[in-house]
Chain A
Amino acid sequence: MPVAVGKPTFAVRRFEGVCRILEEHGYQPSRLIPILQAVQEEYRYLPTEVLTYVATALNLPPARVFGVASFYAHFALAPKGKYVIRLCDGTACHVKRSIPILDALRSRLGLSEQQKTTPDMLFTVETVSCLGACGLAPVLVINDEVHGQMTPERAVALVDAIITKEAQQ
């Protein structure tokens, strides 16, 4: 049963998940990167509020924490879609024509270099520099599932299949 509980008093948010993570890492500033990794695991991305909280808890300037979070490619400062499609653009995949696959996916989903996530939060399309599965080039990963020897048509077909499946639910 859905329950309505009146006014959301966000001030009561106690960052319990973050506290547990910080505890596990002994509140050590040098553990900032593993802490952010764990936080992202918990919240799927790194919300500003949480980063500020982490900075305060570790006694680091928030600008430093933001600097670290925005430096590394794995940290997401905005939420990602339910299906994260990562297209490998390593050398092997590139010479085997990965870019037309990317173009086809973006075109199908109305995404671009700037807009990586669909407004309904279903898909995020991004590239990665190498997944180390060069033998299967070109490679595309949807969440954790690896798909090798891709073509633009096959990639679009995979996306269409997901859209159909989601629509049925």
Chain B
Amino acid sequence: MTSTPVIDLERIAEEYGNARKALARRITICAGTGCVANGALKVFDAFVEKIAAAGLPVVTELKSEAPAATAKPDGTLMSHSGCQGFCQMGPLVTLEPEGILYTRVQLADVDEIVNETLINGRIVDRLLYEDPSNGKRCKGTADIPFYVRQARTVLRECGHVDPENIAEYIHHGGYFAARRAWTAMQPKDICEEITLSGLRGRGGGGFPTGRKWEAARVQPGDKKYVICNGDEGDPGAFMDRSVMEGNPHSVLEGLMIAARAIGADEMYVYVRAEYPLAVKRIRRAVQDAEQLGLLGDNVFGTGQSLRCHVMEGAGAFVCGEETALIASIEGQRGMPRPKPPFPAQSGLWGKPTIINNVETLATVPLIIRQGAAEFRKIGTEKSPGTKTFALTGHVANTGLIEVPFGTTLREIVFNIGGGVTNAKGQVDGDGFRAVQIGGPSGGCLTQEHLDLPLDFDSLTGAGAMVGSGGLVVMNKSTCMVNVARFFMQFTQNESCGKCVLCREGTKQMLALLDDIIEGRATGETLELLERLAVAVKKGSLCGLGKTAPNPVLSTLRYFRAEYEAHVHQKSCPARQCKGLLGLTIDPEKCKGCGLCARKCPVNAISGEKKQPHRIDSSKCLKCGACEEACKFKAISWN
């Protein structure tokens, strides 16, 4: 018999509820990376200070054993939340019970909010989000198209709960699914349930999660591992970061269920070190779970032990590949090894291991809680459930979104995203060029795909990939060859260098793209590029190499004319490729005002006052600042 007391989830949930009820109001400040960069933490402190100064009770931490002092109906609970997704509008401040969302709240606004809203019950109109389509002010998320059109299930709690308060998570039904899995379900049943739900891995290829678990479950042996892959390295993707920051316990609960499903007693969370906040939150979550006895030597009174380690990555995209990640945990260079054997057979330290992505794990408690059938009600037949995307680039509303599989690109870009923006950041109805989806492993989709229902298979068919879910919108000023080159540069840098096709192939693809961009290409260049891309895709050792050519292949497929313009006409239709163009000052039009010279960040422009100026092309960065600055339209691209 073990002496560790068995956790009483009901009691914790109730005590939290009581403590929370004792306070009338809650102000939640988004403390995601975006909002923090915009000063959210200072805004938080200002609120605490101003509310107290106004003579109102304010608490920053909710203690379940609520001290009487805080049990006042006019008390305010100030809390941080994880990323609420609407990063561009940050810092975001939510007031409950009113359901008000104030956007872009600056220090100077705090006084007004306290006086107007808290004391007088009036809404500060100018801080509400304005719907650019109709100019209407929206009171809260329930009115904002960005939120209304989403289906937030995995992200439901993100942005509402305090990620550092385990009791609140439990109050919202957290860890009940884990308890069910550990006490009322057999490992086989859990694997079956997950298989029935049709859950597919959110980290890339969409492998059925249930099948992965089952493969590890049937392996003999006492020692098994589960690993949460939080090494989200795709440039332009931050879904996993947001989940880890916003609701770390959901990830931990998913891990615990996975551990039960395969019979593991040790868990790892591998988090990208570029995400210090996510690391901190996950560590805190593990610590709190240990303290409550959720983790330890007597999980839910079963007498079984379960431990969780948190490891920070050290900066290698390839560690998102599961065998490379395992090597990294083992203290080696993060180089993938050939499969088979699969990690489910022989993984960490040669033991059966499953590795799941953050979002996948955060979905698991939901499935156990509501059942596979309920889960399948959203999404598509082959890709049930929802998917989070990081919506970025030339789009009015950038941020984190969650939609059911099967949602169209049009819905995402134009309705949730609020449309494509031009170089000046204004919505441009005709500006859409392409969407890059799936990061360096994915591809570009065009106008013709706007009505394609997005799921794992439709995207693969279109030459892209869900990947981890970066969704970058690109307007007409984007050169697609340059985009392909950007991703190739990325994979070339991040290739571990082990297998010949990836190491040398990405280098050569990059060189060929450079030839195209810098005007050295011939008719043969494109053919060679395509053949090389196919060889690298088919022959590489790991997923990184096998998908590295996707950005090239998909742009070649949909934007071939643009490549041909670079190759044959030596011109870049989007006027982005430096090697093919330059900036010149028309001496006829130049008045010699000197504004361009002052704007130039590298002093490439010179000339006497009131005399025509010149651009030194060897220094020029082609940033275009001078062109924008010139009032006489004397500077142009050629």
Contact = CB atoms under 8 A, between A and B. Distances in A.
Contact of A134 (B238, B478, B602): B238
Interface in B462-516: 470, 472, 474, 478, 483, 486-487, 490, 493-494, 496
Contacts of A129: 233, 235, 317, 490, 493-494
A10 interface: no
A136 B87 CA distance: 7
B439 A68 contact: no
Of B33, B34, B331, B487, which is in contact with the most chain A CB atoms at under 10 Å from its CB?
Answer: B331
A37 B314 contact: yes
Interface string B314-332: 1111000000000011111
Interface string B367-405: 000000000000000000000001011100011000000
A68 to B, nearest CB: 6
Nearest to B483: A95
Given A72-B315, A74-B315, A95-B472, A103 B235 contact: no
Interface string B7-25: 0000000000000000000
A109 to B, nearest CB: 11
Contacts of A67: 333
A132 B472 CA distance: 13
A124 B150 CA distance: 41
A29 B273 CA distance: 20
B601 A128 contact: no
B526 interface: no
B243 to A, nearest CB: 12
Contacts of B394: 95-96
Contacts of A73: 314-316
Interface in A117-169: 128-137, 139, 146-148, 151-153, 155-156
B331 A30 contact: yes
B623 A97 contact: yes
Of A37, A68, A71, which is in contact with the most chain B CB atoms at under 10 Å from its CB?
Answer: A71
A92 B392 contact: yes
B479 to A, nearest CB: 10
A92 B314 contact: no
Interface residues of B, number: 62
A135 B88 CA distance: 5
Contact of A135 (B87, B235, B331): B87
B30 to A, nearest CB: 11
Interface string A12-45: 0000000000000000011111101100000000
Given A37-B312, A73-B314, A75-B314, A128 B274 contact: yes
Of B88, B235, B393, B478, which is in contact with the most chain A CB atoms at under 10 Å from its CB?
Answer: B235
B333 A135 contact: no
Of A31, A73, A96, A107, which is in contact with the most chain B CB atoms at under 10 Å from its CB?
Answer: A73
Of A33, A89, A131, A148, which is in contact with the most chain B CB atoms at under 10 Å from its CB?
Answer: A33
Given A34-B312, A153-B601, A74 B478 contact: no
A130 B237 contact: yes
B634 to A, nearest CB: 20
Contacts of A155: 601
Interface string A78-122: 000000000001111111110010011001100000000000000
A152 B601 contact: yes
30 contacts: A29-B331, A31-B331, A33-B311, A33-B314, A34-B311, A37-B273, A71-B316, A71-B333, A73-B315, A75-B314, A89-B235, A90-B236, A91-B235, A91-B393, A91-B487, A95-B394, A95-B478, A97-B623, A100-B624, A103-B623, A104-B601, A132-B237, A132-B238, A132-B274, A133-B33, A133-B238, A134-B398, A135-B90, A136-B37, A146-B37
Given A72-B313, A73-B315, A152-B601, 19 more contacts: A33-B314, A33-B328, A37-B273, A67-B333, A71-B316, A71-B496, A72-B314, A89-B235, A91-B472, A95-B472, A103-B602, A132-B33, A132-B237, A132-B274, A134-B392, A135-B34, A135-B90, A135-B398, A152-B621
For the complex of A and B, list the 7 residue pairs with the smallest distance between their C-beta atoms, beginning with the closest: A135-B87, A73-B315, A91-B236, A90-B235, A146-B37, A72-B314, A132-B238
Interface of B: 33-34, 36-38, 87-88, 90, 232-238, 241, 273-275, 311-317, 328-335, 390, 392-394, 398-399, 436, 439, 470, 472, 474, 478, 483, 486-487, 490, 493-494, 496, 599, 601-602, 619, 621-625
